[in-house]
Amino acid sequence: MAQITLLDASESALPQRLERPDHNLAALAAINEMLERLETVTRAGQRHLMNKILAVLTSHPLITAAGPFIADRVDDLRREAEKAAPDGGAFTRATRALFTTARILGD
């Protein structure tokens, strides 16, 4: 009988996968896809996507190495995601600004 190997897609597996550059790019692409869908889902869907985005952000080397200013912006995103009625547009704009700022600070 053939053996099937299941991949671990839990949040605890993210840090190991994000250590490789190809996974770093894939993570950013996945975040971009989730941001594009954010305005088209229900409030519960928004909160779910926002939490997934935050999980990837908090383990992404570009973000974790960028310092306290970026950490504060991630906290702002977390507060938006925790609201009863989160603003998907504001979350999207702030996330994209976060990437731009992290790239500038990382250079």
Residue 7 counted as domain residue: no
**Domain region containing 75:** 22-106
pLDDT of residue 7: 36
Residue 98 counted as domain residue: yes
Alpha-carbon distance 90 to 80, whole Å? 8
Mean pLDDT of 39-45: 91
Angle subtended by helix axes 68-82 and 88-106, to nearest 10 = 170
Q: Does residue 32 carry a pLDDT above 80? A: yes
pLDDT of residue 25: 72
Residue 39 counted as domain residue: yes
Mean pLDDT of 69-88: 92
pLDDT of residue 20: 53
Residue type, 43: R
Mean pLDDT of 37-46: 92
User: Total structural domains in the chain?
Assistant: 1
